Amino acid sequence: MTILKIVFFPITIIYYIGLFIYRKIEKIFIANFFKNTTISKIDALSGEEFENICKLIFKYVGYKVTMTPKSNDYGADLILNKRYKFVVQAKLYYNHGVGNKAVQEVTSALKYYQAQFAVVMTNWHFTRQAKDMAEIQNVILIERQDILDFLNDVKFRTKKSKVFDLIAHYKVHVEKY
């Protein structure tokens, strides 16, 4: 038993130090990527690339992110974990708003993935109907301005964007009722 402790304790320590260093380096690379990213570059992406950008955004702010399968995703593109479980529907649109179908899809994903919170994220804007539906369903909406705020937060090392604290935004949203 003592030999096992002598062997595995240092290995465990080395593993966690390596993991810590890896995460710090990964965060630096993600920050550098976003410092050179503009909203027009995001607009030019494919839907799958936008999902990857959303993944990087949430990873940067500290969420453990899992991408769902490309088909049969039950209305969620990403699953986030950080104290709570979130489902995220990512919508890349250009020149027209995201409608309430995205809100309905992510609401069904909420139940399927047994998550506590639902988010729809887009590079554009939401229609009035989508905003109304999101209020009724308690879905967090992240739109173009929120992404711009996030990009500025990364460039200027601030944390003002809604993306940094989804729970605080959710509580403000729910307290309206």
At 93-150, the pLDDT tens digits run 988 999 999 999 999 999 999 999 999 999 999 999 999 999 999 999 999 999 999 9
Please report where in the chains the tokens 């990873």 appear, as a residue.
59
pLDDT band for 1, please (50, 70, 90 cuts).
low
Contact, 76 vs 89, CB < 8 A? yes
Q: Which residues of 63-102 are buried (b: 16+ CB within 10 A; e: fewer)?
A: bebebbeeeebebbbbbbeeeeebbbbbbbbeeebbbbeb
pTM metric for this prediction: 0.84
- The predicted pLDDT at position 169 comes to 63
Closest CA to 172 of 135, 144, 132, 130: 135
